[in-house]
A and B are shown apart, each in its own frame.
Chain A
Amino acid sequence: MKLVLRDITKRFGTLVANDRISLTVEPGEIHCLLGENGAGKSTLMNVLYGLYQADEGEIELDGTVRNFSGPGDAIAAGIGMVHQHFMLIPVFTVAENVMLGNEATGFAGSLDLDAARERVREISARFGFDVNPDAVVEDLPVGVQQRVEIIKALSRDAQVLVLDEPTAVLTPQETDELMQIMRQLKESGKAIVFITHKLREVREVADKITVIRLGKVVGEASPTASNADLAALMVGRPVELTVHKNPPKLGSDSLVVDNLRVVDDLGRVHVDQVSFTIKAGEILAVAGVQGNGQTELTEALLGLEDHVTGSIKLNGQELIGRSVRNILESGVGFIPEDRQIEGLVGDFTIAENLMLNRSHGEPFVKRGSLQLDKLHAFAHEKVKEYDVRAPGITTLAGQLSGGNQQKVVVARELSRDLELLVAAQPTRGVDVGSIEFIHKQIVAGRDAGVPVLVVSTELDEVVALADRIMVLYRGQVVGIVPSDTPREVLGLMMTGERPEGMTA
């Protein structure tokens, strides 16, 4: 089925999320939609899927103009969508999930599960998916869950398949498998729209590339274009993709974590037997698929976890058992993995956010009173230094773009005298231009002799920043390896396999 989007325009108030975007996807083609976060890719796909109504423009399928008032219409017309966050019910089986929303019923409304099972088997066989229709979804690995989503879309005879950032939750191996599946679907004549911001994947699998920036199509590229060219198109200016850093000047052991174990309120173990050391002036990057204990590890370092055993010594001082405030005041900088939840107060101004973790004393508080003059001078200075693009220091943090929000967090943390920097997902949801800047700042901190712990689920980022790499799997350390370890080895380690001849 041939999909044509013609001059799609979608506005939210004064913001134009899609500005006359046109796109043609042929059957048997993988069309990649490349753009930074917030460029308008998802909005466009939500228009296609009937979740939003376009203000202008039209959607054409095989030459007929279609009007979707909801996802139901879009599905009926042959459009399938695999969302980044799966729309599956964890406690249902694969077959139940696949039939959900399109239940075949028998006498008196009884469910015809057998038909659904058969459908799953048939589609699995056709594409070699190897999915058991009776498996409960929550027991399946993420990569297989994603396949269930694809099966679900295919079971409704989807001819146009939209994959929205499908690789964000996958290991490198699972990503490779997904690429393979996409090629198979393409062979069978489906039109595939692949949304991503990862350049590597685009070049590997795409037939055509459309780049979107700020709601507009800024160009088309062929898969043979170089990374630098694609990035420049995405950002609108040439971008430095590699992090330049000098060899580390290692100092003494600064952070010594020994046999750390973190348990949550329900008694589940998230971090277990984790031991590592970071020297002054060194970046230790933690690699791993999301949800393997990285969050709990960083929260434990900050004193945000309640049930922590083992030992965390910073310059000889034990951190476990101390209050968050005490830990922050002893010189730990923290870039939380989700800036909107833990990093910023959205309804606070930039200036207020810059003093968020210094509300107990000098320099911004004197005898219980805020020192607004000092704060504003400080904020003006930092906004300039960190290139935060905002109308002013009293702009609410929630109104900034992701990259600028993150710069505020980074500015706040790096402008204190640090003994340790903990950076969790420092560039998640941040535009390429800001990534470059934030990486430079982190490396500058390391060069100033601060030990740095970086956590990232993006292998590129881990490799770019790390002096050494620690791989976590199910809360345990698989191994700590040099930064020049091949990607394949790291990918294998992320699935829990310990390479030959190595001990944790």
Chain B
Amino acid sequence: MSNPAGTDERPPSEPEGAEPEEQQPSRWHGVLREITSSSAMVAVLSVLLAIAFGSILIAVTDEEVRSTAGYIFAAPGDFFNALWDAIWGAYTALFRGSIYNTRAETFEQAIRPLTETAKFAAPLIAAGLGVGLAFRAGMFNIGGRGQMLMAGAASGWVAYQFDLPGFVHLTFAIAVGMAAGALWAGIAGLLKARTGAHEVIVTIMLNYVAYYLVFFALSKQSLLQAPGSFNPKSLPAKDSAIMPKLLGDQFNLHLGFLLALVAVAFTWWLLERSSLGFRIRAVGINPPAAKASGINVGRTYTVVMLIAGALVGLAGANQVLGTVTSGVTVDLDAGIGFDAITVALLGRSRPLGILAAGLLFGAFKAGGFAMQASENIPVDIVLVVQSLIVLFIAAPPLIRAIFRLPAQEAK
């Protein structure tokens, strides 16, 4: 109802008030609404704009561009050639590294980047769903890192500690990891429901708690640390608990990607087709109306955080059981817990949007390294582009102004 035709749809307490403003429970809530209801167009344009800004950075940092700029008036052609080479080279390298390697000799090598992209995307999608689901209930889940750490530690422990038949062991390890993530996030949900504690504060603090807790456990022989080791690291996962490779051993792509796709389907069903999802959305958009309709808002918060934590936990399990199986470390989340927020924002908190955003960010990760290796462009450029995307998404009016979109788009 951000329509300025809000002159027609005033809160009835002020049938003809002064400003077309709407009733908002809080500012955070308004920000959330703005983000989740922004159009797909804004998301796409944000990506394009961020890439454009990335080009400037590439150009500025490129040696060749800088040296030709010194004599730009003498030979402008040199400058523009260098400029083109730098930018074109960078983004084609990104493409070769993330989607299809045009310089490869065999087909397997050529499509290898795509499988890498999918591998990197899997935990981003799963964790992004966890963050996005919480968004839909009106909550900021900033605790992806802590939830992944707890889940990873739990999955990793099951993976080296138990001796079980292959399928059973893997399933058990994933389930325990998801449960650990769920409980860790559930704390924030329960505290919000019972005491009104703001989930942003609680989840951020739980990140620290989880980090130092896992670090402590990994430094204690009696807990998670590998016997005889001095490094804060656990034993590697047993083969029976490792996610099978999907396309044979020459590709790193493992079961985690399929599980992420299943999670997308599940979350879509949950939000769009289940009664629980109906209540989650109602609570997310208008808590007072939900309450007056007999929906237990507090319980919904708790349940949402449990499910969100389980989804983030899947990302944690994916890391220790699929991507890095050599043992649990405190770095297992590899920044995914925070990137997940970005993914959820870019995906507008919708499961299919998160799938697309997760794949894009997976591509950035896979391609970033290739870009650095072949064009000598620092991988940080990719990180800047990623951050810019979020910045633009968070400021739809900015995007509208730059692209001269109408102030309000028809839905």
Contact = CB atoms under 8 A, between A and B. Distances in A.
A324 B278 contact: no
A399 B37 CA distance: 15
A13 B7 contact: no
B378 interface: no
Interface string B9-52: 11111111111101100000000010001000000000000000
B16 A165 contact: yes
A197 B275 CA distance: 41
A85 B14 contact: yes
Given A17-B7, A325-B296, A341 B286 contact: yes
A13 B5 contact: yes
B14 A345 contact: no
Nearest to B4: A12
Interface in B294-321: 294-296
Contact of B17 (A85, A348, A360, A399): A85
Interface string B265-293: 00000000111101101100110111111
B1 interface: yes
Nearest to A46: B18
A399 B293 CA distance: 21
A400 B6 CA distance: 10
B103 interface: no
A346 interface: yes
B37 A347 contact: yes
Given A13-B5, A195-B16, A347-B37, A359 B296 contact: no
B407 interface: yes
Contacts of A428: 12-13, 15
Interface in A336-352: 336-348, 352
Contacts of A85: 14, 17-18
A343 B290 CA distance: 9
Interface in A354-396: 355-357, 359-360, 364-365, 368-370, 372, 396
B408 interface: yes
Interface in A286-335: 302, 304, 323-329, 334
A359 B275 contact: yes
Contact of B18 (A41, A83, A342): A83
B292 A347 contact: no
Contact of A429 (B15, B274, B279): B15
Nearest to A164: B16
Given A341-B288, A342-B288, A401 B8 contact: yes
A341 B406 CA distance: 28
A356 B15 contact: no
A37 B282 contact: no
Nearest to A324: B294
B411 interface: yes
B285 A347 contact: yes
Contacts of B289: 341-345, 356
B221 interface: no
Contacts of A430: 12
Contacts of B22: 340, 346
Contacts of A41: 16
Contacts of B1: 340, 346-347, 396, 398-399
Contact of B278 (A165, A337, A352): A352
A42 B16 contact: yes
B387 interface: no
B291 A15 contact: no
A2 B313 CA distance: 71
B374 interface: no
Interface in A39-84: 40-43, 46, 51, 83-84
B286 A15 contact: no
B282 A345 contact: yes
A38 B10 contact: yes
B275 A323 contact: no
A434 interface: no
A423 B22 CA distance: 23
A369 B273 contact: yes
A402 interface: yes
B292 to A, nearest CB: 4
A355 to B, nearest CB: 8
Contact of A13 (B12, B275, B296, B407): B407
A345 to B, nearest CB: 5
Contacts of B20: 12
A425 interface: yes
A405 interface: yes
Contacts of B285: 345-348
B296 to A, nearest CB: 7
B319 to A, nearest CB: 31
B3 interface: yes
Nearest to B20: A12
Interface in A198-240: none
A85 B14 CA distance: 8
A336 B18 contact: no
Contacts of A38: 7-10, 15
A344 B146 CA distance: 36
Contacts of A302: 292
B162 to A, nearest CB: 32
A38 B16 CA distance: 7
Nearest to B33: A347
B10 to A, nearest CB: 7
Interface centre among A40, A346, A364, A396 (most CB of B within 10 A): A346
Interface string A390-432: 0000001011111001000000000000000000010011100
A360 B275 contact: yes
Given A304-B291, A401-B8, A346 B16 contact: no
Nearest to B409: A13
A401 B12 CA distance: 11
A89 B15 CA distance: 22
B278 A334 contact: no
A346 B30 CA distance: 13
Contacts of B11: 338, 340-341, 429
Given A15-B7, A40-B7, A304 B275 contact: no
A93 B275 CA distance: 53
A37 B16 contact: yes
A357 B10 contact: no
B292 A368 contact: no
Contacts of A360: 275, 294
A230 to B, nearest CB: 18
Given A13-B408, A37-B16, A51-B18, A359 B273 contact: no
A69 B408 CA distance: 24
A359 B7 contact: no
Contacts of B406: 13
A495 B140 CA distance: 47
Given A370-B278, A428-B15, A12 B5 contact: yes
Interface of B: 1, 3-5, 7-20, 22-23, 33, 37, 273-276, 278-279, 281-282, 285-286, 288-296, 406-408, 411
21 contacts: A13-B407, A37-B12, A38-B10, A83-B17, A85-B17, A165-B15, A328-B294, A340-B22, A342-B292, A344-B286, A346-B22, A347-B37, A347-B286, A364-B275, A368-B274, A368-B275, A369-B275, A372-B273, A398-B1, A405-B9, A428-B15
Given A340-B23, A402-B12, 19 more contacts: A12-B20, A13-B408, A15-B8, A37-B10, A38-B8, A42-B7, A83-B17, A168-B15, A304-B292, A323-B296, A345-B285, A365-B275, A368-B275, A369-B275, A398-B1, A399-B1, A401-B8, A402-B15, A428-B15
Interface of A: 12-13, 15, 17, 37-38, 40-43, 46, 51, 83-85, 164-165, 168, 195, 197, 302, 304, 323-329, 334, 336-348, 352, 355-357, 359-360, 364-365, 368-370, 372, 396, 398-402, 405, 425, 428-430
Which 6 interchain pairs have the tightest Cβ spacing?
A429-B12, A325-B294, A398-B1, A42-B16, A357-B293, A12-B4
